[in-house]
Amino acid sequence: MNFPDYRPRRLRKNENFRRMIRETKLSVDDLVYPLFVVPGKDRKKPINAMPGNFQMSIDHLVKEVQKTKELGIPAVLLFGIPDKKDELASGAFTRDGIIQQAVRRIKDKVPDILVITDVCLCEYTSHGHCGMIEKGDVDNDTTLEVLSETAVSHAKAGADMVAPSAMMDGQVAAIREGLDEAGYENTPIMAYSAKYASCFYGPFREAAESAPQFGDRKTYQMDPANGDEAIREIQLDVAEGADIIMVKPALPYLDIIRRAREEFDLPIAAYNVSGEFAMIRAAAQLGWLDGERAMMEALTSIKRAGADIILTYFAQDAARILGK
């Protein structure tokens, strides 16, 4: 096919042609909306680095989840910020923890939306790391026990799916075993399989109050330079029983999403993280970008790379556009 016989512009000359041959279809069905819940009542605190997002008490959270459902978004992802933190992350797995309370309330008031819970310890530890500290470092195997107990407590509260994000070796197997032994063999696991040690998490750490108090997370999150390692990490999670695999962040790692799509036949999630959101939102507020177009282009690129599920703080805004 050569010019002048073949002219690609023939099928671009109006929106109906473009719609008819569009290869990638972004849908509201692809979206998951992350939310932050805190103890108390009538609390709705803006997150400075993530305009339009809030830390919310459960009463406000339920209203936000209801709005999310009305927009057609199928699922929310919950992060909890407890009123007290300690070295043992005890707020992560207690029956009356903030996530456990929030899940029960949502399932009572908005039963038809999927509730996914983040399973990590950084929001609950006084030191801000994702696991138990032994001799100044995060101890992998001790952490597995706490992650499993946390996941089971979420399932008991009514969570539809758990999403372990601590990047501990063996975390999926430990959680699968814990869920199965507790009678929750039908609770799926969405594994943060390839989670990079990224600077794009900065705004989230304000939102979740989870910045490490010493050191960093490079000993357990992945080196941004590595691609083959991501495939090995995903292979491990698949072998351990993951139902959905995730790449995080999304936009700087579209190549990893594509490789995962080509090598694995499980559903693939991608997390359009806080820093990706903040860049677009800030540029839009300054008038440097058309924020709406940039948002939709970014989300479409994630879908085009091969993601089936997109976790994004843009979920409600994107759903309004997709629903027109």
- Residue the block writes with tokens 């057609």: 72
The H or E element that residue 140 is part of is: helix 140-157
pLDDT at 204: 86
Confirm whether 324 is domain-assigned.
no
Task: Please provide residue 162's backbone torsions phi and psi, each rounded to the nearest 5 degrees.
Answer: -115, 150
Tokens of 131: 């696991």
Confirm whether 318 is domain-assigned.
no
> What is the pTM assigned to this prediction?
0.96
Confirm whether 196 is domain-assigned.
yes
pLDDT at 214: 67
**Which is catalytic among the residues 69, 85, 109, 195?**
195
Confirm whether 261 is domain-assigned.
no
Tens-digit pLDDT string for the chain (324 aa): 899 999 999 999 999 999 999 999 999 999 999 999 999 999 999 999 999 999 999 999 999 999 999 999 999 999 999 999 998 999 999 999 999 999 999 999 999 999 999 999 999 998 878 888 988 889 999 999 999 999 999 999 999 999 999 999 999 999 999 999 999 999 999 999 999 999 999 998 888 777 777 667 888 899 999 999 999 999 999 999 999 999 999 999 999 999 999 999 999 999 999 999 999 999 999 999 999 999 999 999 999 999 999 999 999 999 999 987
**CATH code assigned at 116:** 3.20.20.70
pLDDT at 208: 72
In the residue annotation, 248 being an active-site residue is answered as yes
Confirm whether 158 is domain-assigned.
yes
Q: In whole angstroms, what is the distance from residue 125 CA to residue 86 CA?
A: 5
pLDDT at 5: 92
In the residue annotation, 63 being an active-site residue is answered as no
Confirm whether 159 is domain-assigned.
yes
Confirm whether 60 is domain-assigned.
yes
Q: Which residues contact 302 (CB under 8 A, 6 or more apart)?
A: 250, 251, 254, 257, 270, 272, 310
Q: Which residues contact 259 (CB under 8 A, 6 or more apart)?
A: 227, 230, 231
Q: Which residues contact 275 (CB under 8 A, 6 or more apart)?
A: 198, 199, 200, 201, 202, 203, 204, 249
**Which is catalytic among the residues 69, 85, 248, 303?**
248
Confirm whether 184 is domain-assigned.
yes
pLDDT at 215: 65
Domain range spanning residue 91? 27-214+221-247
Domain total of the chain: 1
